[in-house]
Amino acid sequence: MIAFETHPERYRHWQLSIDGRVATLTLDVDEAGGLAPGYELKLNSYDLGVDIELYDAIQRLRFEHPEVAAVVMTSAMDRVFCAGANIPMLKGSSHDHKVNFCKFTNETRNAIEDASANSGQAYICMVNGTAAGGGYELALACDEILLIDDGSSAVSLPEVPLLAVLPGTGGLTRVVDKRHVRRDRADFFCTTGEGLRGKRALEWKLVDTLVPRSKLEETVSERTAARVADSERPANGQGITLTPVAREITDSEITYPNVTIALDRDARTATFTVRAPDTAPPADAAGIQAAGVDFWPLAIARELDDAILHLRFNETEIGTWVFRTEGDGEMVAAYDALLLAHSNDWLVREITLYLRRTLKRIDVSARSLLALIEPGSCFTGTLLELALAADRSYMLDGGFEGSNVAPAMIRLTGMNSGPLEMCTGLTRLQTRFYGDDDALAAVGAKLGNDLEAVDAEELGLVTFAPDDIDWEDEVRLAIEARAAFSPDALTGMEASLRFPGPETIESKIFARLSAWQNWIFQRPNAVGDGGALELFGTGKQPEFDRRRV
């Protein structure tokens, strides 16, 4: 089983050091520290285990070190920054692992950019050697790329000519959309295995600065000082410690303090039950600080985050995720109001951004998503986002026969109107009613109101509102149908339908790269017996099927 919990004291591949307002993340991969047997992580190449540590470090810098305003990423190896994803690891991995690996590394690099854009924590990459493939993609996620000007250090994206696959973590998109490299130059760069170095890399905007080895320390100091001066991170802020997430796993259930996931392997379904808080929120930002990781919005973000990653990698045949909630919607609304009232506080901002990133993980997970809104549920505000993220939602009209539990209600709060946007930059409400401003306005007018099933269905906030006579059959048929369809077709359909509207760099990476890489990783030209990925390092030339399809 792959676990995503770690700590700097257990890192095998990264060194994290902090000096005042500047942190340094140094890549020093343990060759023998691969997540699975059968390959060595040579030349600072990486597998999922290396990226799990990087993700952990990024999270800790955001929550535990509010004083850090600039992060330097570099390598401990002489003349090698990072050789990218480990090729023998990819060669020996199952198709689903390769695709999930690329998705996780994408999300980790997006988290770097999110920290830069929204948290005042800038990243500077000091490429002190060769940065190839995923190594250069890691640099591309940073705000600045400094390249040692020693005549041999280079940047490259050699996947197309050498492996017959694509750069797996957004390199193609970031080169043209983020760094504004001309298309013809990008075409040349991405089809030359050796990459570019020195003046040409700088002229083509592939790096920002060339640094003589003799001026390395001075230049990094100047660039970090400039980033620190521009940051609004609190120099004297007190961080909170990200203690391990409490979790129990059995064959049929995953249990956290606020989230439970029931696994039905026959139906290939995971049912999430997210519980509302049972105590009132703190009075102010100081109370949030004091609550730390037990503050309910942060706790559910961490628990859902861990659960999503666990299910993606360890439960690949569980194809449908069903979301339920239970508890007092008034409590959820009160916590939402607290987050909105203190949105300028650094910790509140980080918690809200973490909730947003976690919900984005749900959006881009290759799983069918259903929401069941029943008596006793609390799909309010932040938790309503789970229903809005679903491919289809069912809300019971009235109550169950023989039950005295009040009918289900849903409620919009300010958290549904901006803080939790999708990767497209739109809220889930804007996405739901894309192109229908009147419907969006009608829903906006109901902010803060409890809505019963008939009203929710009429407003378009739920898909169906059956009564208790039809409820069980409609839900059962929806789940059974999902399990009967081709998982491949469902993944393509869901991804095509979930993201209407404008594109961003982030949405392009997931919508384009995820689709193409998913396909290319199954093609014989890459992974067949005579494919480039299979023959890499053997000296043999791949045998390509030359037909364009």
Pairing of strands 379-380, 154-156: unpaired
Q: How confident is the model at residue 515 (pLDDT cuts 50, 70, 90)?
A: confident
Strand ranges inside 185-327, DSSP E: 196-197, 209-211, 248-249, 253-255, 259-264, 269-275, 320-326
Does residue 514 register a pLDDT over 80?
A: no
pTM: 0.97
461 Cβ contact partners less than 8 Å away, ≥ 6 residues apart:
387, 388, 393, 410, 432, 443, 451
- Cβ–Cβ under 8 Å, residues 457 and 464: yes
Cα torsion for 420, 424, 427, 429, to the nearest 10°? -140
- Count H helices and E strands in the chain, helices first: 23, 20
Is the separation of the CB atoms in 453 and 394 below 8 Å? no
Least confident range of 43-52, 220-229, 323-332, 484-493: 484-493
CATH architecture, range 9-228: Alpha-Beta Complex (3.90)
Distance of alpha carbon 76 from alpha carbon 41, whole angstroms: 14
Q: Do domains 9-228 and 249-498 have the same CATH topology?
A: yes
Average of per-residue pLDDT across 328-349? 98
* pLDDT above 80: residue 254: yes
Does residue 511 have a pLDDT over 90? no
**3 state DSSP class of 276:** coil
As a whole number of angstroms, the distance between CA 400 and CA 403 comes to 6
> d(Cα 11, Cα 231) in Å, to the nearest integer?
28
Residue 194, both tokens? 């050796």
> What does the radius of gyration of the chain's CA atoms come to, in whole angstroms?
24
Q: Where are the domains of the chain?
A: 9-228, 249-498
For residue 176, what pLDDT is reported? 97
Residue 178 tokens read as 């983020």
CA-based torsion, 96, 98, 104, 109: positive or negative: negative
pLDDT for 512 beyond 80: no
CATH classification code of 249-498: 3.90.226.10
pLDDT per residue as tens digits for the range 381-395: 999 999 999 999 999
Q: Which burial class, exposed, middle or buried, applies to 218 when counting CB atoms under 10 A from its CB (0-12, 13-18, 19+)?
A: exposed
Cα torsion through 232, 235, 241, 245, rounded to 10: 10
pLDDT, tens digit, 9 for 90 and up, residues 19-75: 999 999 999 999 999 999 999 999 999 999 999 999 999 999 999 999 999 999 999
In sequence order, the 6+-apart residues with CB closer than 8 A to the CB of 345 are 285, 288
pLDDT digits (tens, 9 = 90+) for 297-316: 999 999 999 999 999 999 99
Mean pLDDT (whole number) for 198-208: 97
